[in-house]
Amino acid sequence: MSLALFDLSGKRALITGSSQGIGLALARGLGGAGAELVLNGRDAGKLSAAAAALRGEGLKVHELAFDVTDHEGVRKAVDGFEASVGAIDILVNNAGMQHRTPLEDFPADAFERLLQTNIASVFHTGQAVARHMIKRGAGKIVNICSVQTALARPGIAPYTATKGAVANLTKGMATDWARYGLQCNGLAPGYFDTPLNAALVNDPDFSAWLEKRTPAGRWGKVEELVGTCIFLSSDASSFVNGTTIFVDGGISACL
């Protein structure tokens, strides 16, 4: 009976930025829990390759290519999918980017790209999907935050600002939409070995520092995010709303 709370059979999940890295790992995990998947990305080739790989594992997968920073494009893609295929029961707002430059030299155009990709996209996609969820009286939204939601490091101040904003937007979503039966929460990864972190993973000095700084003593594996995502996407979290869960090996818990 308890395990049934985590069963996603009969649910359909849209994961933005899911052609690689954390997004692909979360899609695979949700599919393993029974969900039908809707992969999203801007690169149609990478998206098709990811979808083919998941189909090869026996998962049911749709491809929905749209630019998460284009408000009207997002709305048309989501509305069209809902009309032609069916309900999106779970939304994982995962699309994001990084840019590392000392704050005093940070380019204004890079700052704007971070704002659009990391925070505006959560608004655009969240609103488009939630409008349908509200009509049905149910839905799950999981916004991917970061350990930088709570902490900062040199050279990524604008990224830190966007991830703090995602956590606060998550609170706002819950405040506005919980009354309609939606649960909106954040999942904040620590340092994981992903393409976004390739420069850090390949830096021996940084990896040595991270292993000393993290109580768990290592980089995270993307598969270790799956359990929390399934929890936040399932009936097991029916009264969890507006919170952000850190999955970071303890790095945000200690000095």
User: What are φ and ψ of residue 137, in 5° steps?
Assistant: 75, 25
User: What are φ and ψ of residue 155, in 5° steps?
Assistant: 90, 0
Q: How far apart are CA 193 and CA 225, in angstroms?
A: 12
* Residue type, position 148, single letter: Q
Q: How far apart are CA 231 and CA 5, in angstroms?
A: 9
Token pair for 215: 């109580």
Token pair for 130: 């939630």
Task: Note the helical H segments in 152-191.
Answer: 157-177
Token pair for 233: 């996407």
To the query of whether residue 159 is one of the catalytic residues in this protein, the response is: yes
Token pair for 165: 């904003």
- Active-site residue among 111, 159, 192, 219? 159
Residues annotated catalytic, as ranges:
159
